[in-house]
Amino acid sequence: MNQKKIKILFFITGLDSGGAEKQLFNLVKGLSVKTNLEIKLVALKNGIYFENFVALGSDVIVFKKTTLFTNNISIFISHIKLFKPDIVHSFLLHTNIISKFSLFFIKKEFKLICSYRTLISKYPLLNTLEFINYKKVDLMISNSKSADSDLVNFKKISKRVILNGFL
């Protein structure tokens, strides 16, 4: 019997050569061998990892250059509606905010995971935006003890620390 594939949509700021991008690549590489998963990657900006993700067989979408926050939300929502993911996993602050803002405009029919790599309390405006809709996030992941402490102390949320590793 044909089992329904689990659809995972990864959302990241860019595909350049940073630590979060490398972790996402390693995660997708590990998941790509599983036949019960369908993976799509959406990025705000292109970068050197684009070809690596394509070589893994991932469907990779890069936003056309846009600076308007509302345009990014609208484009992201269109990808959610088309792909109909079971899981949305956003990496980095800007895409975490866009992921959460999108929930004002669509029905949440997926698990939302947000991964943090920075101290959000350092940025008052972004910090305020982060607070909006954070209760709709199913899992928040930080990859450092300082980011973890920041999430716990500032928002009093449940979280899970993954120190440069995977679940």
Task: Pull the structure tokens for residue 94.
Answer: 């800007």
Residue pair 137/108 in contact by the 8 Å Cβ criterion:
no
Average pLDDT (105-112) is 94
Torsion of CA 70, 98, 79, 138, to 10 degrees: -150
Residue pair 20/12 in contact by the 8 Å Cβ criterion:
yes
Q: What integer pLDDT is reported at residue 167 of this predicted model?
A: 45
Domain limits, the chain: 6-161
pLDDT at 163 over 60: no
Q: Are strands 139-142 and 160-161 parallel, antiparallel or unpaired?
A: parallel
pLDDT at 147 over 80: no
pTM (two decimals): 0.86
Residue 108 and residue 139: Cα distance in Å, rounded? 14
Q: What is the pLDDT of residues 68-104, one digit of tens each?
A: 888 899 999 999 999 999 999 999 888 998 999 999 9
Nearest to 137 by CA among 117, 108, 163, 166: 108
166: left (phi over 0), alpha (psi -120 to 50) or beta: beta
Q: What is the pLDDT of residues 21-69, one digit of tens each?
A: 888 999 999 998 888 999 999 999 999 999 999 999 889 999 987 668 8
**What is the CATH code of the structural domain delimited by 6-161?**
3.40.50.2000
